[in-house]
Structure 1
Amino acid sequence: SSMFFHIQMLWELVLLSEALVVMAPSPAESSDTVLALVSCISPLRYCSDFRPYFTIHDSEFKEYTTRTQAPPSVILGVTNPFFAKTLQHWPHIIRIGDMKQAGEMAKQMKVKKLKNLKTLDSKPGVYTAYKPFLNKDEDIIKQLQKGVQQKRPSAAQNAILRRYFLELTQSFIIPLERYVASLMPLQKSISPWKSPPQLRPFNQEEFMKTLEKAGPQLTSRLKGDWIGLYRQFLRSPNFDGWFRNRRKEMMQKLEALHLEALCEEDLQLRIQKHTEVETVDLVLKLKEKLVSTALILWVIKKEFSQK
């Protein structure tokens, strides 16, 4: 049957931390495919669990095969035919056949209904009822198909894919980065005499409004339900992990700016203008900052020396 490239759908499934199982003929192909899926949303970090080669001996075997609860946000790679039956209830199943180049995950068959997957000997393809939010990019499909016809080296095909995924992920993440940067307080609001100002909370609806003028359409030609994709993403572990990391970075930046403001303060002048209580408070804050900064530097130095 005809080969199709469902790379966008796979990208969406990984982006949204959907439960995915890869059924492959060998551990190498299973592992390569799972790792390729996880990396397809780079530079965004995949924050859910993934098992490149999952077996019946793994401790989570019962948890992952039970039908009493929805499958967790995890990408599994399996080779044991037993899983064709025990993981049949999983929402998204990728069945890969004998691939000429291990790790070349670009080739996918038509999307099939899950009920058609009975054994591991089933035809290769993507078995899912998932409807992608974004319209299919025919250009990349043609480009990759042309590469197959012209026997383009797999390294070149993979480079095309990586660039495509990178641009797609960046188009998706730039509006989020832009909005999150706006949550940072203005530098002029940072006073050495007060605690560092707080970051504004992430407001989903406020973010959605920014997409009208500064959404992914500025950098991506793809059409589709970007808003729906963002809404789903904001509920995913990948967003949670990304935002926690960005928030931590911004808090550190605020702390650094606050310390800078303290260091630049003319203490003698301030002492003359403020009460004794305020002055003592500032000195205590300064001491606290210096101790915490010294501790951070000590930890960094220790980690560096161990390397």
Structure 2
Amino acid sequence: MSIVPIRAKWKVKVKKIDGAERTVEIDQDATVRKLYSTVRQDLRRNWGFQDAIQLFKGPTLLVKNDTKMRDSGICNEITLSVVVQTGPDKWDLFVTLPGRSSPSTITLNETATCDDLYKKVAEIHGNGRPLCVKDPIGDVLSEGKATLKESLYDGARLTAEYRQKWSLIILNQGAKSTLTVEVSANAYVRDVFVEVRKKIPVGEGLILNTGTKELNNCMNDKISSVGLTHMSSICVVMRQKGGSDPRVQMLQNCPNKDVVGVSTPSIRACPYCGALVQHTDACKHMACPACSREFCFICLRKKEGGWQCGSYNSRCSPASRQTYIPG
């Protein structure tokens, strides 16, 4: 049977100017930085202290660093003075980045936000890939305006990892509202359309625009290849039925042709991505030249789990002429 040694605890008293005292227990091998963190958490919990503190051993300020307490003249049952520090406290956070064995030190005011921390981590990492930061217990630290002292503590050891999920900000111009969708970092543009449609269930087609280009609902484009990344903004508007879109006019005015014995408009819009497809010859089953997905040129049913309209040369009921561009 192995014997696990019990690490001794020291009792350290801290005393305010008005004479009020608190006693904290801390491992005898702890650093001065850990002592600051332990005292501050105790005072916050018991006295409601929210401000940064300074600890004094007699007239001497204890410098917050990684020196062992015993090497700074601290011993069991010692009494220290505690005062409120003027101005925000400086925190050192230790962040282990992807592919690196030793942590990087980031120094920020305790009043800095989690957004500020993410910016610093991105600057140090430098390769542009979106990261998420995990707190000491492994939970992802949310980006936002929450201050560090609301989420962490001085000396916290954090881990940065590549994001497996990206959040995209969707600006719904029609409803004048903002929503967020989450997709895989390796997602295709069509996956963004799917997620947006879950949040905006409309019959009309959607137009997604990054501000510099209109996105095509095409399975061959990854979101990273069209300039999107974590927290990118996308504008969404409803595609109007009919109207001035020349593609819709083409769908409405193209001549009919015989497709396996069924009179059918000679041009269709792919029901997946909206690309225009003209029937030239052969059967009714088509593969879109833009997105490669298959559908029936006559009834416009998608091949999902198999053909729903019979074999390639069998007749089916023709869908009406399309009045808007899908996607």
TMscore range, shorter length: under 0.3
Structure number with the bigger relative contact order (C-alpha 8 A, sep ≥ 6) is: 1
Return the structure number with greater helix share.
Answer: 1
Higher-Rg member (1/2): 2
> TM-score, normalised on structure 2?
0.25
Return the structure number with greater strand share.
Answer: 2
> TM-score, normalised on structure 1?
0.26
